[in-house]
Structure 1
Amino acid sequence: MRTWLIPTPPVGPPIDDPTQRRLVTTEVLVVLTVSLGLSALRSGLSLVDALLQPVPLNEQQVALNAPAAQADLVDLALQLTRVLQLVGWGALAAYLLLRAGLSLRAVGLDGRRPGRDALGAAGLATLIGIPGLGVYLVAQALGVSVTIAPTTLDDTWWRLPVLIASAAANAWAEEVVMVGYLLTRLRQLGWSENRSLAAQAVLRGAYHLYQGLGGFLGNIAMGLVFGRVWQRTNRLWMLVGAHTLIDVAAFLGYAALRGRVTWLP
Structure 2
Amino acid sequence: MPDGLRSWLAPPTPTGPGSGAIEDPARRKLVVTEILVVLTVTLGLSALRSALSLIDSLLATTPLSEQQVALNAPAAAATLVDLALQLTRVLQLVGWGSLGAYLLLRAGFGMRDVGLDARRPARDAAATAGLAAIIGIPGLGLYLIAHAIGVSLTIAPTTLTDTWWRIPVLVASALANSWAEEIVMIGYLLTRLRQLGWSPNRSLLAAAVLRGAYHLYQGFGGFLGNLIMGLVFGRYWQRTGRLWPLVAAHALIDVVAFVGYGLLKGHVSWLP
TM-score of the alignment, normalized to the shorter chain, above 0.5:
yes
Q: Does 1:158 align with 2:173?
A: no
Instruction: For residue 116 of structure 1, report the CA deviation from its aligned partner.
Output: 1.2
Task: Tell me how far apart the structure 2 counterparts of residues 45 and 225 of structure 1 sit (CA, whole Å).
Answer: 27
1:10 aligned counterpart, secondary structure: coil
So what's the TM-score if we normalise by structure 2? Answer: 0.96
Moved more, 10-19 or 78-87: 10-19
Partner of 1:211: 218
Q: Which runs of 4+ in 1 moved over 2 A?
A: none
- Cα deviation 1:168-225 (Å, max 9, x = unaligned): 0000000000000000000000000000000000000000000001000000000000
> Where does structure 1 lack aligned partners over 5 or more consecutive residues?
none
2:76 aligned counterpart, secondary structure: coil
> Where does structure 2 lack aligned partners over 5 or more consecutive residues?
none
Within the candidate set 127, 135, 140, 2:134 is matched to 127
Partner of 2:206: 199
Instruction: Please show how residues 114-263 of structure 1 align to structure 2 within 5 Å.
Output: 114-263=121-270
Task: Tell me how far apart the structure 2 counterparts of residues 231 and 6 of structure 1 sit (CA, whole Å).
Answer: 11
Instruction: For residue 6 of structure 1, report the CA deviation from its aligned partner.
Output: 2.1
Partner of 1:2: 6
Q: Which amino acid aligns with 1:41?
A: L
Task: Tell me how far apart the structure 1 counterparts of residues 240 and 10 of structure 2 sit (CA, whole Å).
Answer: 12
Moved more, 235-244 or 107-116: 107-116
Task: Tell me how far apart the structure 2 counterparts of residues 117 and 74 of structure 1 sit (CA, whole Å).
Answer: 38
Task: Tell me how far apart the structure 1 counterparts of residues 133 and 123 of structure 2 sit (CA, whole Å).
Answer: 15
So what's the TM-score if we normalise by structure 1? Answer: 0.99
Within the candidate set 33, 50, 56, 2:63 is matched to 56
Instruction: For residue 3 of structure 1, report the CA deviation from its aligned partner.
Output: 1.6
Q: Which amino acid aligns with 1:194?
A: N
Q: Which amino acid aligns with 2:162?
A: D
Q: Which amino acid aligns with 1:6?
A: A
- Cα deviation 1:202-249 (Å, max 9, x = unaligned): 000000000001000000000000000000010000100000000001
Aligned length: 265
Task: Tell me how far apart the structure 2 counterparts of residues 229 and 6 of structure 1 sit (CA, whole Å).
Answer: 12
Moved more, 114-123 or 140-149: 114-123
Q: Which amino acid aligns with 1:4?
A: W
1:186 aligned counterpart, secondary structure: helix
Q: Which amino acid aligns with 1:125?
A: A
Instruction: For residue 111 of structure 1, report the CA deviation from its aligned partner.
Output: 1.0
2:155 aligned counterpart, secondary structure: strand
Task: Tell me how far apart the structure 2 counterparts of residues 87 and 115 of structure 1 sit (CA, whole Å).
Answer: 25
Moved more, 152-161 or 3-12: 3-12
Q: Which amino acid aligns with 1:201?
A: A
Instruction: For residue 71 of structure 1, report the CA deviation from its aligned partner.
Output: 0.7
Within the candidate set 70, 81, 97, 1:74 is matched to 81
Task: Tell me how far apart the structure 2 counterparts of residues 4 and 167 of structure 1 sit (CA, whole Å).
Answer: 29
Q: Which amino acid aligns with 2:12?
A: T
Q: Does 1:92 align with 2:96?
A: no
Partner of 1:26: 33
Task: Tell me how far apart the structure 2 counterparts of residues 3 and 182 of structure 1 sit (CA, whole Å).
Answer: 24
Instruction: For residue 2 of structure 1, report the CA deviation from its aligned partner.
Output: 1.8
